[in-house]
Amino acid sequence: MKILKNTTDSEISLKYLGISLGPDVSRTIETTDYLTLASASSIGELSPLINSGDIVVNNGSRDLSVGEALIFVMYPEGAATMMFDSSNNSFESNTVQEAIEEVGAGASPGFSFSRPGDTWWSTWLNKAGGVSSNRAGVTVFIDNPVITKVACSSENESTYDLTVYEHDGDEVNLTELGVVSVTAERTHIFEVNWATTKGKQLAARLTDGSATNLGVDLQLKGNS
């Protein structure tokens, strides 16, 4: 059972789930909506609300911590204890959750950044909800995380450098993880190998050039 609880005194609309939660209202998510709940768009919308405490996730027995909540909405129920048979494949995982993390599925939801309009160098991109990622980035919850792909897209053919960082919030312990360079292209997917840290927040910044309506998606994998 997956229950979302609005802890605020205002209505919260979740457009990707297609529901609204009134003040102090709880809503049980239908099992038919679990895939939508775990989608990248939905996690991107929910993450800042869960991190801020505006939405609390309940498993039918108790309210979950922030870390537990994001994992709970991303994975099938019981995935952490459900055994996975790796005897006839190349997996090293012993549980369903570990197997999902090993292939990177379920690890990436919510690792998206964007900036509407014309964006110039030195500008930070926003995470879902319009929050600048250098103030409050997207939190990493998987073990031994590695960024393996960076997908960039813009409205027009653009030339720019995009830098990805990790930090503890408000640029505390801000550390550069890597840079990709786009040259006169609208879209480009980069294969990278940038280790990051569980519990850190990811942020993205245009560090050279310019782009219009820029979007960036990161793929992460648990690297055991």
SS3 label, residue 111: coil
All domains in the chain, ordered by first residue:
3-103 (no CATH), 112-222 (2.60.120.260)
Kindly report the CA angle at 123 between 182 and 43, in degrees rounded to 5?
85
User: Please, are residues 21 and 14 in contact by the beta-carbon 8 Å criterion?
Assistant: yes
Which residues have CB under 8 Å from 122's CB, separation 6+?
Answer: 205, 206, 207
Distances in Å between the alpha carbon of 218 and those of 58, 113, 139?
28, 9, 13
Which residues have CB under 8 Å from 190's CB, separation 6+?
Answer: 149, 150, 151, 152, 180
By mean pLDDT, which of 40-44, 73-77, 89-93, 203-207 is the weakest?
89-93
Residues 111-132 pLDDT 10s: 888 888 899 999 999 987 788 9
Helices and strands in the chain: count of H runs, count of E runs? 4, 11
Name the percent of the chain lying above pLDDT 90: 44
**pLDDT at residue 105 above 50?**
no
Residues 158-178 pLDDT 10s: 999 999 999 999 999 999 999
- Identify the helix (H) or strand (E) that includes residue 46: helix 40-52
pLDDT of residue 48: 80
Which residues have CB under 8 Å from 154's CB, separation 6+?
Answer: 182, 186, 187, 211, 212, 213, 214, 215
**pLDDT at residue 109 above 90?**
no
Which residues have CB under 8 Å from 60's CB, separation 6+?
Answer: 1, 3
